[in-house]
Amino acid sequence: MNILKRILLTFSSTWVFVLVYYLKKFIDGKIYYSTILKALSKLNILTFILAFDTIGTVVMLIVPIYYIYKCNHNNSDEIVGKVKSIDLIDNSFIPVYLGYFFVAMNATHFLEMLCFYFLIFIFVFFSGIEYFNPIFILFNYHMYKIQTANNVTAIFILNTRNVIRKTEDLKNISLLRINNLSYIGCKNIGDEK
């Protein structure tokens, strides 16, 4: 079950790559405009691509929304130890998504895009950063690097009204474990100042 969760999170966090590829094709007029007759003659391929894109986009949206819902309605997981320091790391992942953007913009064919996507998927899956998803940004979540007194580093993805700067502000947070050292959480209602 854990491997399925990681695959869905990785898929959800990297699918923006495929959307950028199709957006570029659409803007360039190379999709649905110049190839409409050819695509109609190969209806099975067009149907596959549309289904592929639709299912991928739905998964990209549903997985983070599911984790947000689950975080707000489940019991809280425990932090690995007493928190010693907290750092905001929202901007650390901008280069990752810029990389996705530029690679997707340079892919010229569907098969080339699939090969690039597969490589990116494998890198994200095995590096363990499947927890970072651009959809969380749309829901006002922030990413924090937490250092515990036991020298364990964890990643928190938290939805709070204000950016957390002090370890004392981590009280009354509901957490849901994403992987071994990554959590998604939110301040309990009525606990924010």
- Rounded percentage of the chain residues whose pLDDT exceeds 90: 1
Write the pLDDT tens digit of every residue in 120-175.
Answer: 889 888 887 777 777 887 788 888 888 888 888 888 878 777 788 888 877 777 77
pLDDT tops 60 at residue 193 = no
Domain extents in the chain: 2-187
Write the pLDDT tens digit of every residue in 7-40.
Answer: 888 888 888 888 888 878 777 765 554 455 555 5
Contacts of 59 (CB under 8 A, 6+ apart): 8, 11, 12, 15
Element (H, E) at 54: helix 43-73
| Angstrom distance (rounded) from CA 191 to CA 193 | 7
pLDDT tops 70 at residue 192 = no
Please give the backbone phi and psi of residue 129, each rounded to the nearest 5 degrees, phi first: -105, 30
